[in-house]
Amino acid sequence: MLPQVCDGVSFDGVAAAGIDLSGRLLRRASLAGAVLEGANLSECRLDEANLEQAKLAGARLTDAVLYQAQGAGADLAGAQLDRASLVAAVLTNASLAGASLAGADLRWADLTDTPLSARQVVGASDLQAATITGIDFSGADLSGRSLHSNGFANCRFVGANLSKTMLHAARFINCDLSGASLAGSDQGDTDFRGSNLTGADFSDAKLLRGEFAGVALSGTRFCRTRFEHTVFADVKLGEAVLEEAVFFKCELEAAKLPGISFAGLDMTHSRFVSADLQGANFSSAILTGCDFGEANL
């Protein structure tokens, strides 16, 4: 029988399927390649433990702490991770098929190339700053969640509800957010490069230093949206719906926006240097401090 305290112990390659290790202190322990299918690791402390390539299918890890655990390539299919702390854990290229993550803390977790369902992720208690790739969140409800510093790559959010989310420093790289609602969201340094925002709703959102390079904006709604210090180079802003939007100190240098309507909008201190604005409508717009140097009007 193992002692209660097993900190730093090596169990590399051990075959002990079904073993009961519940409540043990396994901080910085190494279980690399260990075969522990169906094991009971509930309430264990696995802080900074090495779980790389470990076989933990069907294991019980309820209420376990895996802070900064290294689990690249681990098999956790069907495992119970309810209320587990996975803060800053590395679970890249891992298997979590059928695993339960209800109430799990995924802050700062790296789940790159680990297949998950939207239901698994949404059921977690906290997702802030997690790195997530290739997941289909279409139709999912993430409203009101803090997604500060999250990294999403190649994910689908078609028709998803992201309203009133905190998205500071969040990254949506090559994601499909068509028809998604980001109404009332709070964004700062949010990166949407290469993503599809067709028909997305940003009504009443606040965006500080947003990044929209190469983004599809056909039918995207920017109603009462406030942009500050946002760059719109290489952005087809003319395809979006702009109603009562504010563009404060925004950068539209060399933007190609012929025929666009900024009528009635507040464009204070924005720069249109060398922009193509032929036929643009600025009637009743607020243009205080704007720079139109070498623009084509």
Helix (H) or strand (E) holding 120: helix 118-122
In the chain the beta strands, taken as DSSP E runs, fall at 110-111, 131-133, 151-153, 171-173, 186-188, 206-208, 221-223, 226-228, 241-243, 246-248
Please report the pLDDT score of residue 98 as a whole number: 97
Q: pLDDT class for 229, splitting at 50, 70, 90? A: very high
Q: Using CA atoms in the order 88, 92, 98, 100, what is the torsion angle rounded to 10 degrees?
A: 0
Please report the pLDDT score of residue 267 as a whole number: 97
Decide: helix, strand or coil at residue 267. Answer: coil
Average pLDDT, the chain: 96
- The answer to whether residue 110 scores a pLDDT higher than 90 is yes
Q: pLDDT class for 238, splitting at 50, 70, 90? A: confident
Q: What percent of the chain has pLDDT over 70?
A: 100
Return the minimum-mean-pLDDT range out of 83-87, 149-153, 168-172, 238-242: 238-242
- pTM of the predicted structure, to 2 decimals: 0.92
Which sequence spans correspond to the domains of the chain? 1-135
Q: pLDDT class for 1, splitting at 50, 70, 90? A: confident
Please report the pLDDT score of residue 233 as a whole number: 78
For the stretch 200-226, pLDDT in tens is 999 999 999 998 888 889 999 999 999
Residue 46 in tokens: 């696995």
Decide: helix, strand or coil at residue 243. Answer: strand
Residue 248, strand partner residues: 228
Topology annotation, domain 1-135? Pectate Lyase C-like (2.160.20)
Rounded Cα–Cα distance for residues 54 and 179 (Å): 40
